[in-house]
Structure 1
């Protein structure tokens, strides 16, 4: 079954492909795309287990590989040639691993928002998979509201007010827990290959892939991870003031201006 995608703007304009985060869907990008669709052809994709792709399931042992193939099929169906791939959190990890494995000449740039680059040790991977397995069990066996309440109590969302958390819980409650559990395990950071060798090699290429890494001022975890990438060439870091983990939701206009600034023709 193919992934759902929504397109906005003219197919003659430069293409932007958006991948949402865990629990999200293509509508998460609507405020940013509203600012961009006059200048870009915007394609927002629902990842497996999410939104209108909720019924798309992927094997846990080949989650990234299968998701990459589904994304490539979606782009081929839309006859997308050159494009910029933009991913937030889970979507950013999938976008990064897509670039690492596909080596698609039509991919002209990556914009990675608050995303992990992969663990380097097996101990880290084992601990993360144990944590994700615990979350997957919650999503698969509890009510979606109960699981979401627990999910948004994590430190990474500490910048959100109670009202903001409640709004997110209400918005995300349309998800199906079992579908989320499957995707969580199939695309766990524990299953993700460390992208450091790819990023190091990219910096040495004659025509390196342009990579932008974005993080919010209030997101201490990914601010630290992002700043650790400064030693790698050709990775452009951007810190968004007053933003937390989800920049494009909290600052959609500022995020759109960032894209226009770097990629408008």
Structure 2
């Protein structure tokens, strides 16, 4: 295992990443969701074993990754380019790509704008963004309220209260019953609330470019994974599957929004079968 921080060629980011190399095995790049970190997929990687090599990283605004440029470098477009730069630095010409939630939206952007770099792609509880300006404006206002709460956090206790309220959202109802939920919560507390604010304000669903129309241009096999209890994202991903001939939707039983933690075995079985 290699654990390093590096400054990509454009000098606007210093990524914290783990690279696990298994000889002659293709790389899977995992991208975590909002409030997650580099360890989001540790259990998945453990179960996949030596069938693949693995690259995980802290996205901008999360963990130990540092944005050296201005606020615009928290946005999706420059972040995607920086990840491609990181792949170049690590001499990874092509790889598999797996993204969850916010990381899934970034994953779809990478897939549609840099198709030559990816073999197959898994989107977990992801979306192409919002179709209309009205929807985007409403989401921006909603996320700004959350961001304001984050900016007022002054200690770990207040951050813990924020996270508990965050996971009280209906889409996380099943996730809160996970036996390791408290451990996961502790991991989330390692993030910096002010950095999370920037991620929310500049890479939130309301700010990202809509990818709905571009889905028809997709050239890469896509596996769309959603939990059976996540009705909102079942509907979104059903619509996505109609837009791209190469997209295949599968439902993971006994899981809500965070399928890779709520039903890890099923998640691993599905991505292994798809990628191999």
Q: TM-score, normalised by structure 2?
A: 0.87
Displacement of 1:7: 1.6
Aligned to 1:95: 107
CA deviations over 1:1-54 (Å, ceiling 9, x no partner):
32111122415211110000111112111111012231111111110121221x
In the alignment, the residues of structure 2 paired with residue 73 and residue 105 of structure 1 have an alpha-carbon distance, to the nearest angstrom, of 14
Displacement of 1:166: 4.3
1:147 aligns with 2:162: yes
**SS across alignment from 2:234:** helix
CA contact (8 A) 2:175 2:262 kept: no
In the alignment, the residues of structure 1 paired with residue 177 and residue 48 of structure 2 have an alpha-carbon distance, to the nearest angstrom, of 31
| 1:97/1:163 CA distance change after superposition, 3 Å | closer
Aligned to 1:205: none
Matches within 5 A, 1:215-254: 215-232=226-243, 233-254=245-266
**SS across alignment from 1:34:** helix
Displacement of 1:161: 3.9
CA contact (8 A) 1:31 1:253 kept: no
**SS across alignment from 1:190:** coil
Aligned to 1:188: 204
**SS across alignment from 2:224:** strand
| 1:196/1:8 CA distance change after superposition, 3 Å | same
In the alignment, the residues of structure 1 paired with residue 265 and residue 63 of structure 2 have an alpha-carbon distance, to the nearest angstrom, of 24
Aligned to 2:88: 76
**SS across alignment from 2:14:** coil
Aligned to 1:38: 50
Displacement of 1:60: 4.3
User: Structure 1: which 5+ runs fail to align?
Assistant: 203-207
Matches within 5 A, 1:82-161: 82-101=94-113, 103-142=114-153, 143-161=158-176
| 1:60/1:124 CA distance change after superposition, 3 Å | farther
CA RMSD of aligned residues (A): 1.9
1:179 aligns with 2:191: no
In the alignment, the residues of structure 2 paired with residue 52 and residue 160 of structure 1 have an alpha-carbon distance, to the nearest angstrom, of 25
In the alignment, the residues of structure 2 paired with residue 195 and residue 31 of structure 1 have an alpha-carbon distance, to the nearest angstrom, of 30
CA contact (8 A) 2:223 2:274 kept: no
Counterpart pick for 2:216 among 200, 214, 218: 200
Q: TM-score, normalised by structure 1?
A: 0.90
User: Structure 2: which 5+ runs fail to align?
Assistant: 1-12
